[in-house]
Amino acid sequence: MTETYYAELDERVFRAVLPNGLTVAVVPRPGFSRKMAFLATDYGSIHTAFTLDGVLTVSPDGVAHYLEHKMFDLPGRDVSAEFAAMGADVNAFTSYDITAYHFTCTDHFRDCLSLLLEFVFTPYFTTESVEKEQGIIGQEIGMNDDSADTRVFENLTKAMYAEHPIRVPILGTRESIAQVTPEILHACHRALYAPANMMLCVVGDVDPDEVLEAAKAMSPTDPRPDVCKCTGLQEEMTCPQPLIEDEMDISMPTFDLGFKCEPAPDGEDGIRQEVVGDLAAEALFGESSPLYLRMYEEGLIDSSFGGGFETLSGVSMLNCGGDSEQPADVKEAILQEADRIAREGIPEEDFLRMKRSALGRRIRDLDSFESTCFRTCAYHFSQFDYFRFPAVYRQVEASELQEFLSRVVRPERCSLSIVYSLDKEEV
C-alpha cells in the first residue's frame, strides 16, 4: 500500500486500489482498542436513474435505503447475530448520496472485516423477505412523518428544487416502496455496488496489509459493469416556492431556511467552495457572528438554531434552522446582514480567528473514528484527499466569503420552510 504522512495532523494513511476498482484506505491508530471499518458506495437516494450496460433503469423512490435494509440477509444466516457474537456493532445508513455499512469491534477484527465485505457484496433477496421489509420501513417512514426536523427539511427541499431528486425523501413513500421487487434490488446492486463505485476505509490499530488481503479475498472479481448515473438537468438558481408551511403536534414552530448555491465541482475546487461556504455561514449567522448575538438576545432564535453549507451531487445550499416564533423575521435579518457584509467586508482579524476555530474543530473531529471514516469516503467520492484540508484553509481569503454571500444570500435564491404547532398557527 502507498503510505502518506500528513505532518500538520500527525496522521499516516495507507491507500491502494484493487484490480476490481475498490479503493482501500487504512488510517492506523496505534494503542486504541476500538477498530472501525466503513464500506461505502457512491450511491444514495438521489441516484434513482442510471444506465446499466446501456439500458436505462429508473428505480422507485427510496430504493437505495430499501436495499441497505435487505443487504443484511444472507441465505440461512443472520448477519447481525454473527457480528454480535463477535462483540461487534454493525450498522448502516443511507443518505442522499451515500450508502455505508460499518462496524466497530475490539476483537475478531479480521473475521468482522471479512463478514462486512461478504454481506455487502452478496446480493440475496427473496420475494418473501422483500415484502416483509415493507412493514419495517413503513414504520420508519411513520417515525419520520412524526419528526418535525425531518418534515421541515424535506419540505424545504421540495420548495427549493424543481427537478433534482433531493426533493424526494431518502426513505421514499409507502407507495413507492411498495413497488420494490427482488429484480429491482438486484439491478441496483449490480450497477451501484460494483467495487469501482465503492471505498473501504479502516481506522484503528490494524495492519494495513491485513486489510488489503481481506479486501482482495472478499470482493468480487467480476468484470466491471458499464454504469452511468443520470444526474439530471442543471437547476435554475432561483427557488420555485419561496414559502412552504405545515403543521404538527409540536411545542414551538420550527423552520429551515435555504439559499440555493451553484453545485460544487469535484476535486479541490469543490472542497474550496465548501470551506468558503462553511466560513461564510459562520460569518453570517454562526455563534460568533454579530447577527447571532442580536437574534439570540432579541429572542428571535434560541440555542436550537444552527446551520451551514451542504453539498451533494448536483446540489449545494446554505441553510439554517431551529425553533422560532418568528421565522420570517429571521429570514429578513439574515438577508440584511448579508447585504451589510457584502458592502463592508469581513475584518481580517475576524477571518483569521474563524479559520483557526474551524481548523481546530476539524482536527478535534479526527479523534472520532466515525467522522474520519465518513469523511475519508465522502471526500474520496468527490475526488479529494480529505487529509489535505489544512492547506485549503490556508489558501482561502476573506474576499471569497464576501463574494459568496453577495451572490448567494438573495431573496430570489431563498425558500423558507415552517412547521407550526397545531394549536397556535400564525397568520
Partner 1 sequence: MIQTIELQPGITLRCFPEHRLRHGCLSIQLLRPMCREEASLNALLPAVLLRGTRQNPDLRSITLRLDTLYGASVSPLVRRVGDCQTTGLYASFIEDRFAMEGDEILAPMVAFLKELLLDPDPEDGCFRRDYVESEKRNLISTIESELNDKRVYAMTRMIRLMCREDSYGVPRLGDKEHACAVTPESLYAHYRRILRESPVNLFYVGSAPAEQIADLLRPMFAELERDYQPFSGQSAFRDCGGCEKCETMPTAQSQLCMGFTSSIHTADPEFAAMQVFNAVFGGSMTSKLFQNVREKLSLCYTVGSSYVGLKGLVTVSAGIDAASEELARKEILAQLEACQQGAITDEELTAAKQALISTLRSVHDSAGAVENYYSTAAVSGLAMTPAEYMAAVEAVSAEQTAAAAQTVQLHTVLFLKGVGA
* Interface with partner 1 (CB under 8 A): 9-10, 29-34, 80-81, 84-90, 104-107, 132, 135-137, 139-140, 142-143, 145-149, 248-252, 287-290, 292-293, 296-297, 299, 302-304, 323, 353-354, 356-361, 363-364, 366-368, 422
- As measured in angstroms, the least distance from the Cβ of 393 to partner 1 is 12
Of the pair 53, 423, the CB lying nearest partner 1 is at 423
- As measured in angstroms, the least distance from the Cβ of 86 to partner 1 is 7
* Cα separation, 159 vs 419, whole angstroms: 13
- As measured in angstroms, the least distance from the Cβ of 146 to partner 1 is 5
8 A C-beta contact, residue 190 and residue 183: no
Pairing relation of β-strands 11-17 and 99-105?
A: unpaired
* Cα separation, 86 vs 106, whole angstroms: 9
Of the pair 112, 261, the CB lying nearest partner 1 is at 112
- Return left, alpha or beta for 232; rule: phi > 0 is left, psi -120 to 50 is alpha, else beta: left
- As measured in angstroms, the least distance from the Cβ of 34 to partner 1 is 4
SS3 (DSSP) at 87: coil
Q: Which three cell numbers stand for residue 154?
A: 424535506
Q: How far is CA 387 from the centre of its chain?
A: 18
- As measured in angstroms, the least distance from the Cβ of 235 to partner 1 is 30
Of the pair 163, 287, the CB lying nearest partner 1 is at 287
Of the pair 6, 52, the CB lying nearest partner 1 is at 6
Of the pair 105, 215, the CB lying nearest partner 1 is at 105
- As measured in angstroms, the least distance from the Cβ of 33 to partner 1 is 5
Q: Give Cβ neighbours of residue 421 (< 8 Å, ≥ 6 apart).
A: 247, 248, 249, 250, 251, 252, 253
Q: Which of 86, 292, 298, 48 is nearest to 184 (CA)?
A: 48
Of the pair 10, 53, the CB lying nearest partner 1 is at 10
8 A C-beta contact, residue 133 and residue 69: yes
Q: Which of 64, 65, 43 is nearest to 197 (CA)?
A: 43
Of the pair 7, 58, the CB lying nearest partner 1 is at 7
Please give the C-alpha separations between residue 32 and each of 9, 37, 94, 116, 243, in angstroms, as whole numbers.
18, 14, 28, 21, 49
Of the pair 175, 262, the CB lying nearest partner 1 is at 175
- As measured in angstroms, the least distance from the Cβ of 239 to partner 1 is 26
Q: Which of 268, 264, 267, 246 is nearest to 255 (CA)?
A: 246
- As measured in angstroms, the least distance from the Cβ of 98 to partner 1 is 21
Q: Which three cell numbers stand for residue 183?
A: 429484480
| CB environment 356-368: b (16+ within 10 A), e (fewer) | eebbeebeeebee
Of the pair 212, 280, the CB lying nearest partner 1 is at 280
- As measured in angstroms, the least distance from the Cβ of 133 to partner 1 is 8
User: What count of Cα atoms within 13 Å lies in the side-chain half-sphere of residue 314?
Assistant: 20
